[in-house]
């Protein structure tokens, strides 16, 4: 069965701290894609990154970085020097080639950045 687990329901840190959001996925497929989306209080989900299963290179985009490890089926997301504007719910999602066109979503991690 395909599944995405985000074990951290809520994380609260003080501004400028680094924070890592965990994502663990389950699939027997060898070809798949992993995503991270951000959902601010406005409700609109915003795409952050897409990674395919054949590309295990870590990626950095400004203060954001992603660590993809197939050996542990994890795709973790780190925010360095967090800012209040980073406060949102973050979702990890999995898509398969033969998944009826649907994304499989984790339950999300609510990130609170305190000033």
Partner 1 sequence: DAGVTQSPTHLIKTRGQHVTLRCSPISGHKSVSWYQQVLGQGPQFIFQYYEKEERGRGNFPDRFSARQFPNYSSELNVNALLLGDSALYLCASSSGQSTNEKLFFGSGTQLSVL
Q: Which stretch binds partner 1 (CB under 8 A): 11-19, 55-63, 78-86, 106-114?
A: 106-114
Neighbours of 96 (CB within 10 A): 18
| 24 touches partner 1 by CB under 8 A | no
Q: How many Cα atoms sit within 13 Å of 92 on the Cβ side?
A: 27
d(CA 62, CA 64): 5
| 42 touches partner 1 by CB under 8 A | yes
Work out which of 12, 16, 17, 46 binds partner 1, going by CB under 8 A: 46
| 91 touches partner 1 by CB under 8 A | yes
43 CB contacts (<8 Å, ≥6 apart)?
none
Binding site for partner 1 (CB under 8 A): 4, 33, 37, 42-47, 50, 52, 91, 93, 95-97, 99-103, 105-108
């Amino acid at each position: 069965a395909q599944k995405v687990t985000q074990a951290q329901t809520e994380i609260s840190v003080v501004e400028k701290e680094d924070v890592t959001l965990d994502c663990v996925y389950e699939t027997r497929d060898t070809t798949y894609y992993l995503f991270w989306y951000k959902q601010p209080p406005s409700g609109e989900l915003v795409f952050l990154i897409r990674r395919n299963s054949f590309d295990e290179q870590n990626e950095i985009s400004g203060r954001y970085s992603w660590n993809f490890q197939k050996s542990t089926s994890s795709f973790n997301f780190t925010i360095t020097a967090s800012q209040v504007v980073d406060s949102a719910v973050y979702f990890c999602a999995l898509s398969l080639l033969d998944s009826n066109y649907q994304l499989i979503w984790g339950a999300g991690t609510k990130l609170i950045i305190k000033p």
